[in-house]
Amino acid sequence: MGEFDLAIGVPDVHITLDRADLAPCNVVVGTSTMLLNDTLDDMLEAAPQATRFAVIGPSAGLWPDTLFERGVTLLGGTRVTDPQAFANAMAVGESWSSATRKFAIQRDGWLGWRALAGLA
């Protein structure tokens, strides 16, 4: 659990590995590891009061439609903008941040893949 000084404008944040602690939460931020270890549905179920549920991390770079349908409200990830620079940095263990850009997609502003592809 992390407690922060509200006098400087940082909210009290509870950090936990116990999903039972999510039951009363109205805002949840989880890592994209939930997609890799197949725990997203369990985490969504554990947070029935969540009106905002964000999934963030480099593994979150995928079409958000299915996640939004399941209850995720924000998807934040990383997009590779320079594949060769990215591969070079990865090969030598250097930072690849200059070859990428961060993104955030909100459910309320997402048109859906069919609309983006002109199929809707």
Q: Give per-residue pLDDT as tens, 50-105.
A: 999 999 998 887 889 999 999 999 999 999 999 999 999 999 999 999 999 999 99
The domain locations on the chain are 6-110
What is the CATH T-level fold of the domain 6-110, as seen in this structure? Answer: Rossmann fold (3.40.50)
The model's pLDDT over 5-17, given as tens digits with 9 standing for 90+, comes to 445 556 677 888 8
Q: Is 78 exposed, middle or buried (0-12, 13-18, 19+ CB in 10 A)?
A: buried
Distances (CA, A) of 55 to 17, 36, 94: 16, 12, 25
